[in-house]
Amino acid sequence: MTFELQKLVRGNIKILTPYSSARHEFKGEASVFLDANENSFGSPLAEAFNRYPDPLQWKLKSGISKIKDVPAENIFIGNGSDEVIDLAYRIFCNPGIDNVIICPPTYGMYEVSANINDVETKKVNLTENFQLNVEEILAATDQNTKLLFICSPNNPTGNSMNRNDIERLLNNFDGLVLIDEAYINFSNEKTFIQELTKYKNLIVMQTLSKAWGLASLRLGLAFASLEIIELFNKVKPPYNINKASQQLAVEALQNTEQVDEWVQQIVAQRELLAKELSNFSFVKRIFESDANFLLLKVEDAANLYNYLAANKIIVRNRSKEVFCDNCLRITIGTPDEDQLLLKVLKNYTS
């Protein structure tokens, strides 16, 4: 397969002249900034937030580059992974004409973002053991299929996709393959980031929301070829990542040992919680997980959800998802939170 990126890009994006911010136009050092109509006197906060942030977040990208072993130029930072998903639609998919492929049960924003952008979603369900149906995915592809979303480890099921299946798709799918690795830190599977030089049609998404514990900062990551990253930078809002988020994330990246320790604790707690939950008669199945959550099949998901909510414990009812009838998704909590969950469940009668 010969991959030609420009054939996928929307015509209006090819000729788009991006907004040029004041910080884009100036290169170098300066002591007086009178170019961006900021409040030169400062801000009511102790920190100097009166200045616009770096539009390309180079300091943060530099820190991520060292951890991920990827050049900073091959990194895009979005206002959450949801911005990365939305930009992919706006760059590559012509509304009302093009389509994408998603593989339910999977992360819901792939479809929601498609609907917002008036792009058709072709649904090729995972197999009953939650793996990719490669033959059906390729059969569903037509000349207007631009994107394929693969969530691995998958949300809400927790399992990783078979690597050989993903590679088959990368080699045979004519569009872009977006691999969402939001939960990769909790898995023993190897990231696809190191395959970027091999596959020009690959975009790998990760996040600082999960293992890094920075969900409220809204920092989604995309790793791709320089040509793809340039398109994302061309279309994104000029200052999509605020200064506070950039500064706090740079600080957080200095604490890799703490994050690694938390990941180990979460994985250990995941195995312990799965073992304890298996002792309850109303738990019919606990699916294997490579994420920081467990998917459980229970006798009556709605009733159990309401019972837990009445006891001030909130989980996620995923029963409306294909193959997830009567399934609850439970995030791994702290040891104390998990013990409270187990204590409350001991008093549950279905």
- Of 252, 281, 303, which closes a domain? 252
How many CB atoms lie under 10 A from the CB of residue 67? 11
Query: Could you list the residue range(s) of the whole structural domain that residue 179 is in?
Result: 5-20+52-252
Identify the domain boundary among 197, 219, 252: 252
Q: Is 108 helix (H, G, I), strand (E, B) or coil?
A: coil
pLDDT along the chain (350 residues), means of 10: 90 94 76 90 89 95 98 98 98 98 98 98 97 98 98 98 98 97 98 97 98 98 98 97 98 97 98 98 98 98 98 98 98 98 93
306: CATH? 3.90.1150.10
Domain membership flag for residue 183: yes
> 179 - beta bridge partners?
150, 204
Same domain, 61 and 150: yes
**3-state class (DSSP) for residue 67:** helix
Q: Is residue 113 one of the residues assigned to a domain?
A: yes
Quick one: pLDDT at residue 236? 98
226 and 100 in a common domain: yes
Lookup: tokens for 40: 């030169």
Do residues 139 and 277 share a domain?
no
Instruction: With respect to residue 281, please indicate whether it lies within any of the assigned structural domains.
Output: yes
41 lies in a domain? no
Q: Which amino acid is at 113?
A: S
Report yes or no: 318 and 324 within 8 Å, Cβ to Cβ.
Answer: yes
Q: E strands within the chain?
A: 75-79, 99-102, 120-123, 145-151, 176-180, 202-207, 219-223, 283-286, 293-298, 316-317, 327-331
Is residue 212 a contact partner of residue 254, using CB atoms and an 8 Å limit?
Answer: no
Cα 186 to chain centroid, rounded: 14
Task: List the CATH number of the domain containing 99.
Answer: 3.40.640.10
Q: Does any domain span residue 25?
A: no
Nearest to 293 by CA among 349, 338, 259: 338
Domain match, 299 and 271 both: yes
Closest CA to 165 of 206, 134, 119: 134
Note whether 200 and 63 are same-domain residues. Answer: yes
For the chain, what's the residue count? 350
Split into its structural domains, the chain has a count of 2
The pLDDT score that the predictor gives to residue 67 is 98
Same-domain check for residues 293 and 310: yes
Structure confidence at residue 1 (pLDDT): 64
- The Cα–Cα gap between 85 and 71 comes to 21
The edge-to-edge listing of strands for the beta sheet with 120-123 is 75-79, 219-223, 202-207, 176-180, 145-151, 99-102, 120-123
- Cis omega before residue 237 (within 30°)? no
240/115 same-domain check: yes
Rounded to whole angstroms, the Cα distance separating 69 from 75 reads 11
Q: Residue 219: which residues within 8 A CB-CB, separation 6 or more?
A: 77, 78, 79, 80, 207, 208, 209, 241, 245, 249
Q: Residue 337 in contact with residue 322, Cβ under 8 Å?
A: no
Of the candidates 185, 150, 149, the residue with the CA atom closest to the CA atom of residue 292: 185
Express the helix, strand and coil content of the chain in percent, nearest 5 each. Answer: 40, 15, 45
User: What Rg value do the Cα atoms of the chain yield, rounded?
Assistant: 22
- Burial of 269: CB neighbours in 10 Å, binned 0-12, 13-18, 19+: middle
Based on the fold, state whether residues 197 and 227 are members of the same structural domain.
Answer: yes
Does some domain include residue 206? Answer: yes
Q: Do 288 and 263 belong to one domain?
A: yes
User: Cα–Cα distance between 246 and 104 in angstroms, integer?
Assistant: 34
Whether residue 32 is contained in a domain is answered as no
Last residue of a domain, one of 197, 222, 252: 252
* Domain membership flag for residue 232: yes
Of 227, 114, 124, 117, whose CA–CA distance to 173 is shortest? 124
- CA distance linking residue 175 with residue 177, whole number of Å: 7
Question: Which of 172, 147, 21, 169 has its CA nearest to residue 91?
Answer: 147
Domain co-membership, 148 together with 88: yes
In this structure, the answer to whether residues 71 and 191 fall within a common structural domain is yes
Closest of 159, 158, 161 to residue 169, by C-alpha:
161
Shared domain check, 152 and 139: yes
